[in-house]
Amino acid sequence: MSGRRSPSVLHVDLDAMFAAVEQRDKVSLRGRPVVVGGVAGRGVVSTASYEARAYGVHSAMPMAQARRRSPAGTAYLAPRFAAYRRTSEVVMALLAEVTPVVEQVSIDEAYLDLAAGGHDLSVAGVTAVGRRLKRDIARATGGVTGSVGVATSKLMAKIGSELRKPDGLTVIAPGDELSVLHPLPVNRLGGVGPATEQRLHRSGVRTVGDLATVALDDLVDWFGQAHGAGLHRLARADDTRPVVSEREAKSVSAEETYDVDLNDTARIGREVDLLAARVAGRLRTGGVSGRTVSIKVRHHDFATITRSVTRDQPTDDPRLVAQLARRLLTEVDTSGGVRLLGVAVTTLTAFAQDELFALGPAEQPVEPEPQPVAAPTGWRPGQDVHHDGYGPGWVWGSGLGRVTVRFEGPGTAPGPVRTFAVTDPGLRPAEPPDWT
């Protein structure tokens, strides 16, 4: 079994994340089948919305097959990784507020060690954590939901998050692992791919409970020592893998989330000074210093702003870190209230060589000049665009020298559709819309 006596491992998996972000940002697609992936040639499905999954569409399916299965009106969109990364960053920041030990395994999935966060580890306690986390994720992401599983091991936590998708929560109490695991199809185990599943089926093994009855020697004979022994352990919920954050420190940071939003400028400055002092103390304790100072400011609506500046020489001086952090703070509008503040030092080295004089103007961060972007002739379906006359929108489709755009966003009503020449000088690529 897991070695943990309490359900202290939480797994969160965002539900059909790519498609969910598309439906959030494109109001006319809400409730409709959406398929994200390679839209041309031999493209494959990356993510399908739950409306599309009802027709048998799933990830890794050839896009041509998905088109044959899907009903009229299905949207086929190229991925927008910048939009997905922004959403992921918001979610991962929320997870870091729950516990300092977060293991991100993909853009939409992570494990949390609740024991490291000082939580009540009773079933009722972790259920409350899961409910609160799901609510915060949906609110912070503009409606993207996550499914959560909590158990005594990574294996069972992940199984739990899959049981009630989408928007589900499953807490598996200690001692209930096998009763939950054994009735499941054998392909629900992480080590069982199509080839392994076919070999097990030929031997009459269809559920995890069936697999648990197979002798270890037989599994090793079928699949080799490592894979066979691994399947033997998984079928018994024997999983002692720890939840691990990044092992090698690439930064030293401190941050604070406030129960009541900070609105007083002087108080915010003092908090930045305290965070800078904590960071500098950790630098000195670790015998390192750094050249880049960063701040993070999260507003009441979960929008997060970061600013950074890099010096020529590394430092571990708390006064200097605070001075730079305060300068960066002047670039951020805090008038609407601050939920979280953070200070970090990166570009670490094992020595410090501070200058003798105060920082001069040359050390202020300089924003690069924006460069004009040429209008592409090959517009991608789903791509964010902006038109001088109609404003922000997204590419509905293109071909034969024309591009069709729907002008809407996450906070608008379904918008009008207009068609332009692909070289229209008023149409240009744009950043993903701000859903907050």
pLDDT digits (tens, 9 = 90+) for 86-130: 999 999 999 999 999 999 888 899 999 999 998 999 999 999 999
Say what the pLDDT of residue 392 is: 97
Is the whole model's pTM more than 0.75, yes or no? Answer: no
pLDDT digits (tens, 9 = 90+) for 393-424: 999 998 889 999 999 999 999 999 999 999 99
Residues 391 and 341 in one domain: no
Say what the pLDDT of residue 190 is: 79
Residue with tokens 């069709």: 404
Q: Please state the separation of Cα 255 from the chain's center in Å.
A: 19
Annotated active-site positions, please? 109
Residues 359 and 269 in one domain: yes
CB atoms within 10 A of CB 142: 20
Name the residue range of residue 347's domain. 251-363
- Nearest 5°: the CA angle 239, 244, 249 is 160
Residues 271 and 188 in one domain: no
Mean pLDDT of the chain: 88
Residues 344 and 290 in one domain: yes
132 found inside a domain: no
294 found inside a domain: yes
> CA 158, CA 150: separation in Å to the nearest integer?
8
Helices vs. strands in the chain: H and E counts, helices first: 13, 17
H or E stretch at 310: strand 304-315
Helix (H, G, I), strand (E, B), or coil: what is residue 87?
helix
User: Would the pLDDT of 200 be above 50?
Assistant: yes
> CA 107, CA 68: separation in Å to the nearest integer?
29
Greatest mean pLDDT among 345-354, 357-366, 389-398: 389-398
The enclosing domain of 348 has a CATH number of 3.30.1490.100
**Number of separate domains in the chain:** 4
Tally the C-alpha atoms within 13 A of residue 190's C-alpha that lie toward its C-beta: 12
> CA 404, CA 418: separation in Å to the nearest integer?
6
Residues 294 and 329 in one domain: yes
Residues 404 and 335 in one domain: no
Greatest mean pLDDT among 204-208, 261-265, 352-356: 204-208
The enclosing domain of 61 has a CATH number of 3.40.1170.60
Residues 344 and 407 in one domain: no
Using alpha carbons, list the distances in angstroms from residue 127 to 166, 242, 291, 348.
Answer: 17, 21, 42, 39
Residues 277 and 188 in one domain: no
377 found inside a domain: no
pLDDT confidence band for 74 (50 / 70 / 90): very high
9 found inside a domain: no
Contacts of 183 (CB under 8 A, 6+ apart): 207, 208, 209
73 found inside a domain: yes
Tell whether the torsion through CA atoms of 67, 69, 75 and 78 is positive or negative: negative
> CA 59, CA 147: separation in Å to the nearest integer?
18
> CA 436, CA 430: separation in Å to the nearest integer?
17
- Nearest 5°: the CA angle 265, 269, 272 is 140
